[in-house]
Amino acid sequence: MVRVYEMQNPLRTEKYVQGLKAIRSRVSDAHRRVFVAHHAAVNRTATAKQLAARANLGGHSVVNSLYGKLGHALCDELGVTPELRPNHKNRWWSVWARGWSDSEGFVWQMLPQVAEALEKVGICAPERETSLPEEVEAPPDRTLTEGAVRQITVNAYERSRQAVRKCKERHGTACVVCGFNFGVVYGPVAEGTIHVHHLRPISEVGAEYMVNPETDLVPVCPNCHVVLHLGMGGGCRSVEEVRRLIETNRRRSEPNAAGSQ
């Protein structure tokens, strides 16, 4: 069983905002780069070695030191003390993330309230999702309510970034139709990038509804997303239908076995 290390009494977002503002003068450019890299990672999960590479820093020991010392400063400011290691030293990094060991090394997953606080104090930009031209970027929200129809041009809807994030956490960031993965093809610069398709089109809802990211949303690449929206009568094709289109055309493009001998 994997043992997860985390603070037993996690702080609220408001306390992080308060603490970060108080120690702002101690947040260096290197700290900012690590925060941005961690905030942008898939599921906000990465090892110190990965963060060092993405933040262009010297190595995992540099990141360990940055997170530990700034975590210590934040705890001192807020009057909190994280749990002790077996060597009786505090896990100062645990104020930023929960952690565990796996085949990649020791992994950190940024706490959701830390991510939100970093956005509020301006260290990290709010998460942006790649959108189709007809989709409208929405302001941050705290619910999984979608819809909220607005008459701006033809059809404009507010999107829940929290719902999109939960979809990616549940289903990953590879296209469920064709398997394309931006991170695999383009590397870290595109890691985590993906469209999200509503299995129940918002245009057919017309009013607010509660999204279940596990059943209502799936990650898809831009090409498949376009084809999913090319259904009859302006509707959407199913994921299974587009998969069949790919397979059918793949077979047609294969050389005829008898003719190639």
Can you tell me the distance from the alpha carbon of 14 to that of 120, in angstroms, rounded to the nearest whole number? 10
Number of domains comprising the chain: 2
Contact status, residue 46 vs residue 69, Cβ threshold 8 Å: no
Residue span of the structural domain in which 156 resides: 145-253
Q: Is residue 127 part of a domain?
A: no
Both tokens of 214, joined, read 């596990």
- Distances, alpha carbon 214 to alpha carbons 4, 92, 117, 132, 198, in Å: 24, 34, 26, 21, 11
**76, pLDDT greater than 70:** yes
104-159 pLDDT, tens digit each: 789 999 999 999 999 999 998 876 543 433 343 444 444 444 444 333 222 223 35
- Please name which of 212, 114, 119, 115 lies closest in space to residue 160, comparing C-alpha atoms: 212
**64, pLDDT greater than 90:** yes
96 or 42, which is more confident: 96
**207, pLDDT greater than 60:** no
Write the DSSP assignment of 111-157 as a string of letters: -HHHHHHHHHTTSSPPP-----TT-------SS-EEEEEE-SSS-EE
pLDDT at 141: 43
Q: Are residues 116 and 157 in the same domain?
A: no
* Structure confidence at residue 260 as a pLDDT band (50, 70, 90): very low
Q: Is residue 138 part of a domain?
A: no
Q: Is residue 248 part of a domain?
A: yes
